Amino acid sequence: MRRWLVKAGTMVLGVSLRAKIIGLVVGLLLLLAGAAMFQAERSISPFLNQQLDTEAISTAKYIADRGPDYIYRGDLFQLYTLVRDIKNSNQNIRYIFLVDPLQNVLVDTFGNALPAGLLGVNRVNPSESDHIEVLSTEEGLIRDVAIPISGGKVGTVRIGMSEKGLVQAKAKMLSGLAVTTFAVLFVGIILAFILSRILATPYRRLIAATRVVSTGDLSYRVPAWPIKDEGSELTQAFNHMIHKMEQSAQEIEDLCTLRRGLTEKVMQVQEEERRHLARELHDETSQSLASLRLGLKYAEEAQNLEEIKMRLPEVRHVLDDAFDGIRRLVTELRPYVLDDGELGQAITHYAQEFQSRYSMEVDLTLDDVGFELTREVASSLYRIVQEVLTNVARHARATQVSIILNQHSGDISLTIEDDGVGFDVPQVLAERVGQRKYGLFGIQERVMVLGGSSQIESSPGQGTTIYVKIPGEAFKHGQNHGVISR
């Protein structure tokens, strides 16, 4: 129950400010109208009942004053004519009848006989001037008034006053009050609408301003509010905050520009060193090992060194492994196909080695990147693939990895997805900072240097997807960074 009440309260309070103001005014007016009608109904009913009783008593006394003459003469027809005319002249009178002291009916307006039980429901004592009983009938409430004739010596006059007229009069009065109430309510709604529009204008402007600012436009300012109230103060404070944000954003942009320049310089130096090391390993160490392998092969074929011949295949096998290891090291440091513009080939070769080494299925979708790549772009994309696959092998416990490299609207998009255990991105990033492990941050850093964007999506048990987007502007400076042509 409490939860439903909280939910209902949240929904009610979650409406707009204008709706709250209008609802408050309308609610107060309705409450006032309801209280007025309730009080009116309580006040009107006793008053009308009293008026009805007074009218019945007055009519009954009139009959009690005129009736004895007819009764003493035995002229019951004239007495009947009197009560009939009185009943017909007053629509509130439901019935009139007279009884003698022995409770014998002298005359009545029922036409036939009195309803069963009516005669004894209202008895007036000799000490009373009148007696009133309220009867509940099929026609509604009847106020039965009994007046003694000549102190009860001659008989009693009984008049039944119907409350139908009373109810109709009360309904008419309440309907008039309701019409007046709704007219006031309508005027109140109009005034509340105007007031709410005035009060909500500063807040609507602020909402529109936040939407503009959220798009990155910090030059927008909220128009000044002419009324000197809290809305004006809030507008001034908001504009001051945006001004400060604009200054801070410019300072951050300057720092980011400086940082990108320094990072790019460091990456260029690193890539030069790696390229030099890869060239040395490939040109010298590999050739030396190949020559050693050939010499051992000749020694193996000697006819008089049986024992040596038996051991030489094993030596050659070891050398083969060393040779493959060196080539793999060269590839990891700097795949030579990158210098030939074959980014897709480099990723394919590395994916094949990764799949063979970790027995993990790698699905490749590599589009033909149909424009020139700078060495920095090609190398950064390759290093990103390396870093992500390394993390997958170490942490993901995945069975399948998907790599998608494509071009769209002049930009390059790289998507790497695995079906591993996933992780809580904010928590893991915070832990990596504390542990001084910057693998994921290195990916973001490489992308930022190229002016691109990256996004990591993951949750426990749902795998991980990394999106990288490099804008086309990153490929327009090939003459400064070394162009890789196909």
Low-confidence ranges of the chain (pLDDT < 50): 370, 436, 477-486
pLDDT given at position 468: 93
Structure tokens at 426: 């904010």
pLDDT given at position 269: 52
Burial of 60 (0-12, 13-18, 19+ CB in 10 A): buried
Cα dist from 120 to 111, 146, 167, 359, 384, whole Å: 19, 11, 27, 108, 107
Determine the Cα–Cα distance for residues 255 and 277; give it in Å rounded to an integer.
33
For 329-344, the pLDDT digits (tens) are: 666 666 655 666 678 8
CA 51: distance to chain centroid?
Answer: 60
Determine the Cα–Cα distance for residues 308 and 300; give it in Å rounded to an integer.
7
pLDDT given at position 309: 63
Any residues with CB less than 8 A from the CB of 260 and at least 6 apart, and which? 448, 449, 451
Determine the Cα–Cα distance for residues 319 and 295; give it in Å rounded to an integer.
12
pLDDT given at position 434: 52
For 111-164, the pLDDT digits (tens) are: 878 888 888 888 888 778 899 998 888 878 888 999 998 888 888 999 998 888
pLDDT given at position 435: 53
